[in-house]
């Protein structure tokens, strides 16, 4: 007999009083457990007085297909290995960067450092990679196909929110136990359980990578350095790494800007040991240095070269940093390129399954053809620059105007990417203590930990996950307009027959096969049978405090300016 249980409307349509109670539990738990960011200092206030606010979070975990989640986990060790293999292929990097450096000054300056260090000889053979590969679910337009994951980007520097992501997972587990909202009395659902919240080791994994690197450096009194941005509001995500590193490995970590490292540091001996205030530095972990704004003067560029020339283990080293450029991502999508770096064809095939369409915009015949296609069908694409920093992408209807103003040389600073179309669902978000509900999309990030010395691999593993969720209000290019919150994935159990159209919204996200009398349409996938039963303003409606009518408290609807394309790290704060 088939299982007739179906997932309920999601999230559970709680009455207003229960929703408010749930929000209070979430905010207080976050403040009590360090799920926080620094609060902005009001004009005229004393900036020396510390103030925090809860990190913006999703009140409920967001459903995500178990199959897609497990595929992302399977991919990460392959991407870790791929980064290292490419980074050690000097000929390939030189071929890619020689042309790219001519059209992107920031990447060109990084490449100058790479060439300088390569000519001198690399001082430190140990490589530490703390990466994060980010994915969106994709469903082709006007299709009822099962969702697949498509890689947005592979981050090789400053992959943040590992600590706060772990705490968000713990928050959702607490709310599930404390409030029973996974099994609301009016909507019993044995399919949604604590077992559907996958364990997340991201709080410990970054510290593990740094700690193991410190052990291989093998100088007992040495320290680690975290390179930070002045005035960092996401400091507590970073502090958790510092505390885990000290408690688990007894390693002291110094927080310094690049300018401070140059002022306080020196290279000692023929092996170029990095000394800061008479302390030997074993590991330098970059949480800054990924965007032009991190280099306001020549001093910061001098500091980046200074660090790279040292014997300290860099995370990332300059080669790993360059591997993370969009141009490398685009070139890997060409036929035969992944196979150049991956021995097993089955591994190469698995990697390729996660690639979306990526195209060059250079002066080659393929580049001209891609530009022509983008002009004819701009709604299908996004143009992405090489440099990090969200908010620089060009979407949909804005592409023709941008391309018409660019020379072919300027065009080469971008790649063209097929637009990923994630299926939206409904969730409730909490920001600055306010409840906001509406359609959202989620981006999954998988952390990767890599440690090696030449061909000897010490660590290659997953490092936990991050889920960021934001409003799905989209322009024609599909970019989510709004703000991001921290979230955690919910991997529902298998669904059987008996689901109604109103349940298909979640089932489509969860990638479960449901028996219906007719194939569902896109509109029926996101149909809301609850909203029509209640008057406007009733908390049972899905548009209660909807994103369509309630803007973020700070009034910002544009993307942030930090490193992540669709879900800017800085925009969470």
Other CB atoms within a 10 A radius of the CB of residue 255 amount to 15
Binding-site annotation, residues for substrate: 132, 157-160, 232-234, 238, 287-290, 468, 479-480
- The string of pLDDT tens digits covering residues 371-384 is 999 999 999 999 98
Give the torsion sign (CA, 84, 87, 90, 93).
positive
- Predicted confidence band of residue 385 (pLDDT cuts 50, 70, 90): confident
Q: Which residues of 537-566 are buried (b: 16+ CB within 10 A; e: fewer)?
A: eebebbbbbbbeeeebeeeeeebbebbbbb
- The string of pLDDT tens digits covering residues 476-527 is 222 223 468 999 999 986 433 333 333 333 434 343 332 333 322 222 222 3
Q: Angle at CA 160, nearest 5°, toward 156 and 164?
A: 150
Annotated catalytic residue, options 309, 327, 468, 563: 468
Please say if the pLDDT value at position 133 is more than 80.
yes
In three-state secondary structure terms, 510 is helix
Q: Provide the phi-psi class of 498: left if phi over 0, else alpha when psi is between -120 and 50, else beta.
A: left
Q: Which of the two residues, 31 and 538, has the higher pLDDT score? A: 31
Predicted TM-score (pTM) of the model is: 0.85
Tell which residue, 264, 273, 298, has the closest CA to residue 113.
298
Active site residue 47: no
- Return the structure tokens found at 45: 């206030």
Task: Find out whether the peptide bond into 254 is cis, omega within 30 degrees of 0.
Answer: no
Query: Are the C-beta atoms of 192 and 507 separated by less than 8 Å?
Result: no
Active site residue 132: yes
* Main-chain phi, psi angles of 541, to 5 degrees: -75, 150
Annotated catalytic residue, options 80, 127, 155, 222: 155
Percent of the chain exceeding pLDDT 70 equals 79
Active site residue 389: yes
Annotated catalytic residue, options 389, 438, 445, 464: 389
Instruction: Report how far residue 33's alpha carbon sits from residue 203's, in angstroms, rounded to the nearest whole number.
Output: 13
Binding-site annotation, residues for Mg(2+): 153, 155, 388
pLDDT for position 80: 99
Domains of the chain with bracketed CATH: 16-40+50-350+420-572 (no CATH), 357-418 (3.30.1490.50)
Give the torsion sign (CA, 44, 50, 51, 54).
positive
Annotated catalytic residue, options 133, 160, 488, 562: 160
Binding-site annotation, residues for ATP: 153, 326, 384-393, 395, 417-420, 443, 470, 476
Active site residue 468: yes
Instruction: Report how far residue 560's alpha carbon sits from residue 243's, in angstroms, rounded to the nearest whole number.
Output: 28
Annotated catalytic residue, options 62, 127, 129, 132: 132
Annotated catalytic residue, options 208, 309, 314, 326: 326
Q: Provide the phi-psi class of 510: left if phi over 0, else alpha when psi is between -120 and 50, else beta.
A: alpha
**Residue range 89-118: average pLDDT?**
96
Annotated catalytic residue, options 133, 153, 427, 438: 153
- The string of pLDDT tens digits covering residues 186-208 is 555 555 678 899 999 999 999 99
Average pLDDT of every residue of the chain: 83
**Residue range 126-138: average pLDDT?**
98
Active site residue 155: yes
Pick the most confident of 18-22, 312-316, 569-573: 312-316
Active site residue 160: yes
Annotated catalytic residue, options 163, 388, 431, 478: 388
- Return the structure tokens found at 172: 């959702």
Q: Which of the two residues, 536 and 10, has the higher pLDDT score? A: 10
């Amino acid at each position: 007999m088939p299982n007739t249980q179906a997932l309920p409307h999601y999230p559970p349509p709680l009455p207003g009083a229960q929703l408010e109670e749930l929000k209070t539990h979430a905010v207080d738990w976050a403040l009590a457990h360090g799920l926080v960011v620094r609060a902005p200092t009001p004009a005229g206030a004393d900036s020396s007085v510390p103030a925090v606010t809860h990190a913006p979070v999703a009140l409920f975990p967001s459903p995500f297909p178990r199959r897609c989640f497990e595929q992302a986990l399977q991919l990460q060790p392959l991407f870790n290995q791929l980064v290292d293999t490419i980074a050690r292929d000097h000929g390939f990097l030189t071929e890619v960067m020689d042309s790219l450096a001519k059209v992107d000054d920031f990447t060109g300056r990084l490449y100058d450092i790479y060439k300088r260090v390569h000519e001198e000889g690399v001082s430190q053979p140990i490589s530490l990679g703390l990466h994060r590969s980010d994915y969106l679910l994709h469903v082709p337009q006007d299709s009822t196909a099962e969702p697949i994951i498509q890689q947005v980007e592979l981050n090789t520097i400053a992959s943040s929110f590992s600590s706060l992501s772990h705490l968000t997972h713990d928050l959702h587990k607490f709310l599930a136990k404390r409030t029973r909202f996974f099994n609301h009395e009016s909507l019993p659902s044995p399919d949604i359980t604590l077992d559907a919240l996958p364990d997340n080791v991201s709080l410990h994994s970054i510290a593990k990578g740094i700690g193991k690197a410190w052990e291989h450096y093998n100088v007992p009194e040495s320290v680690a350095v975290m390179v930070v941005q002045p005035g960092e509001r996401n400091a507590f995500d970073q502090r958790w790494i510092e505390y885990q590193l000290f408690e688990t490995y007894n390693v002291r970590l110094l927080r310094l800007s690049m300018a401070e490292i140059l002022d306080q540091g020196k290279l000692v001996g023929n092996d170029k040991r990095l000394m800061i205030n008479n302390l030997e530095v074993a590991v330098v972990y970059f949480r800054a240095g990924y965007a032009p704004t991190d280099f306001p003067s020549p001093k910061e560029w001098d500091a980046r070269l200074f660090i790279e020339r040292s014997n300290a283990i860099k995370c990332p080293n300059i080669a790993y940093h360059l591997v993370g450029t969009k141009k490398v991502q685009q070139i890997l999508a060409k036929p035969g390129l992944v196979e150049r770096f991956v021995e097993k064809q089955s591994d190469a095939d698995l990697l390729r399954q996660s690639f979306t369409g990526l195209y060059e915009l250079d002066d080659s015949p393929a580049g001209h053809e891609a530009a022509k296609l983008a002009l004819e069908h701009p709604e299908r694409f996004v143009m992405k620059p090489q440099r990090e920093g969200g908010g620089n992408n060009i979407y949909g209807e804005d592409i023709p105007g941008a391309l018409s103003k660019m020379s072919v040389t300027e065009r080469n600073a971008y790649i063209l990417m097929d637009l990923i179309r994630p299926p939206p669902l409904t969730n409730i978000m909490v920001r600055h203590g306010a409840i906001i509900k509406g359609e959202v999309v989620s981006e999954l990030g998988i952390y990767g930990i890599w440690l090696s010395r030449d061909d000897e691999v010490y660590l290659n593993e997953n490092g936990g996950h991050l889920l960021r969720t934001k409003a799905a209000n989209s322009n024609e290019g599909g970019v989510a307009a709004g703000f991001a919150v921290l979230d955690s994935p919910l991997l529902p159990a298998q669904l059987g027959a008996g689901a109604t159209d109103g349940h298909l919204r979640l089932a489509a996200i969860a990638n479960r096969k449901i028996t219906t009398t007719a194939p569902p349409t896109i509109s029926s996938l996101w149909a809301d049978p609850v909203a029509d039963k209640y008057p406007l303003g009733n908390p049972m409606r899905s548009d209660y405090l909807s994103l369509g009518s309630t803007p973020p408290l700070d009034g910002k609807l544009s993307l942030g300016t930090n490193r992540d394309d669709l879900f800017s790290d800085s925009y969470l704060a």
